[in-house]
Chains A and B, each alone.
Chain A
């Protein structure tokens, strides 16, 4: 059974088509990284999953049931855009309100528990409006976690978080998905961070899913490259460019050779042309580069 199964989903806002025949499958227990440019249809899809928008066509199933079923929707936790909190209420009162919404038994205990999970127990009495952006994101996660949801839908949950906040968020998500009881869909632009936790990926563009894969498949798809440094980077780039199809200088000052068979061949080739290699290593491109490459591919570049 999949946590989410979307077939042929479309959503129009007037003449504008935000989602265009989207197909999406999120297995149970997955941390699904939902990636796409601004306006690609990520948030619209998430809002449809949460029942906030009515689709123009297609089907959405959550845990093999229609997404409009009351029983299945009671198991969804959400953080879309900003947390839905009342600014003049304290953090604690906002969470108590959500506990009332979910008809949770022992609400005080549950609220304290989720506050501890997001490391916010010390800020319970703060008014929501006085919280920092990072704190608000964590409150949103705490709110989404109330009632032990089986599906968490998070839109940009790590936006505005500092390094420590991101680490906490990562730990929280790993904790809640560790048992396989909770499936998480995360839309995020911070791909480096997403790569550390996601088990599955979906890449959306122009309202269509252009690629769905597991973290393992991404690992296999990510091209290996040889990164090197020489005393004459300009000459090296020119020489390597004659022999290999893709040679680029990266932002850290390394020259990347993508379709090289082995580093030894490159070292030998440059040596034969009078250039000494000072540093060389092999590596794999990350999610971010994979995504950029895929986007360029789709644009026909």
Chain B
């Protein structure tokens, strides 16, 4: 590199930069207990919901079944944007709520530990940070979707529930929700960049957006007729991925997730470039 006082500079190419940043984030992800705890949480919740239905209570009564079909714990029968009953909402979309909390803690540790100093000193391009965090957290959330699925199957088997479904639609629904992880992860990364100095607010904001309350509120005002419009939002598309999904659903989720990921990454990059990072 150095000959006498002559320095040779090698401009790191985009993929080289991203590779090293991803290397850090995946190393951290696989070495943090947080990731495994959230994988277990994602598996435990559907297993608990499905497994506890129909069980005998201490007073001799039997608790009501939230679902009779296992796959309703994964996705609703049809897209319902307006709130009707909790069973229609308590599905794989919950992963995006836990995922938001996980992303907040994961990114928050960067700032709390001061590791961002190392990252931003050596990585001048702030988009590297946004892209790498979004991809890593999307991967983590996609993994949570898988453990959620496994937990649902285990809970369904335990409770002896019905497993009948249109396999093609089911696979598309699951794949679509996993694809939505990228958009959600980008949103949470952006929120955590905004509130990087306020750990509690980061978690609270991720939780708020993860519940989809803003979209549910719109759905309640305009009814399910507003559905196609609401699909342009992350929560709308996540709801759109239901047991009646087809290839259009997959394409919509892919486009919406990628578009929001690009928007949030661009906004986050802009914010980090124009403001003090530590």
A-to-B contact residues, CB < 8 Å: 1, 28-29, 47, 50-54, 63, 65, 68-78, 80-87, 89, 93, 96-98, 100-103, 143, 147-148, 150, 153, 180-181
Q: Is there a chain A Cβ closer than 8 Å to B247's Cβ?
A: no
Contact present for A73 and B113 (CB under 8 Å): no
Report chain B residues within 8 Å CB of A29.
5
* Residues of chain B within 8 A of A50, CB atoms compared: 117, 120-121
Is the pair B114, A84 in contact by a Cβ cutoff of 8 Å? Answer: yes
How many angstroms between the C-alpha atoms of A234 and B273 in the bound complex? 63
Closest to A69 in B: B124
Q: Are the C-beta atoms of A52 and B277 separated by less than 8 Å?
A: yes
Q: Does the CB pair B121–A52 fall under 8 Å?
A: yes
Q: Are A73 and B117 in contact (CB under 8 A)?
A: no
Residues on B facing A (Cβ under 8 Å): 1-2, 4-5, 7, 9-12, 16-17, 19-21, 23-24, 27-28, 31, 109, 113-125, 273-278
A-B contact pairs, 10 of them (CB 8 A): A51-B277, A70-B125, A83-B114, A84-B114, A84-B116, A100-B20, A102-B20, A103-B19, A148-B1, A181-B1
Nearest CB to that of B3 among chain A residues?
A181
A150 touches B7 (CB 8 A): yes
A51 touches B17 (CB 8 A): no
A52 pairs with B122, CB closer than 8 A: no
A92 and B17 alpha carbons, distance in the complex (Å): 23
The smallest beta-carbon distance between B112 and chain A, in angstroms, is 9
Given A47-B278, A54-B276: A101 and B118 interface contact (C-beta under 8 Å): yes
Could you list 11 further interchain pairs (A-B, Cβ under 8 angstroms) beyond the known A63-B7, A96-B27, A103-B23?
A1-B7, A29-B5, A54-B276, A69-B124, A70-B125, A72-B124, A74-B124, A78-B118, A101-B119, A101-B123, A143-B118
Is the beta-carbon distance between A85 and B124 smaller than 8 angstroms?
no
Main DSSP-derived SS at the B contact region: helix
Identify the 4 closest CB pairs spanning chains A and B, nearest first.
A103-B20, A84-B114, A100-B23, A84-B115
**A68 cross-chain contacts in B, Cβ below 8 A:** 124
**Chain A contacts of B275 at CB under 8 A?**
54
Classify the secondary structure of A's interface with B. loop
A52 touching B120, Cβ below 8 Å: yes
Q: Is the CB of B117 within 8 A of A84?
A: yes
Q: Are A82 and B114 in touch, CB under 8 angstroms?
A: yes
A236 to B273, CA, bound (A): 64
* Beta-carbon nearest neighbor of A66 in chain B: B124
Distance from A77 Cβ to chain B, minimum over Cβ atoms (Å): 8
Do the beta carbons of A98 and B9 come within 8 Å of each other? no
Chain B's closest residue to A150 (CB) is B7
Choice from A28, A78, A81, A150 contacting B121 with Cβ under 8 Å: A78
* A180 / chain B contacts, CB cutoff of 8 Å: 4-5
| Closest A residue by C-beta to B115 | A84
Q: How close is A121's CB to chain B, nearest CB, in angstroms?
A: 21
Least Cβ–Cβ distance between B215 and chain A, in angstroms: 35
Pick from B2, B17, B23, B31: contact of A181, CB under 8 Å: B2
Q: Can you name the residue of chain A whose Cβ is closest to the Cβ of B16?
A: A103
Question: CA of A98 to CA of B121 in the docked complex: distance in angstroms?
Answer: 12
Of A71, A78, A148, A181, which is within 8 A of B117 by CB?
A: A78
* Residues of the B chain whose Cβ atoms lie less than 8 Å from the Cβ of A97: 24, 27-28, 115
Instruction: From the candidates B115, B121, B274, name the one contacting A73 in the complex (CB within 8 A).
Output: B121
A51-B120, A51-B124 known; A71 vs B11 contact (CB < 8 Å): yes
What's the least CB distance linking B22 to chain A, in Å? 9
A63 partner residues in chain B, CB cutoff 8 A = 7, 9
**A70 to chain B: which residues have CB within 8 Å?**
11-12, 17, 123-125
How far apart sit A180 and B5, CA to CA, in the bound complex (Å)? 7
Within the complex, what minimum Cβ distance (angstroms) separates A173 from chain B?
18
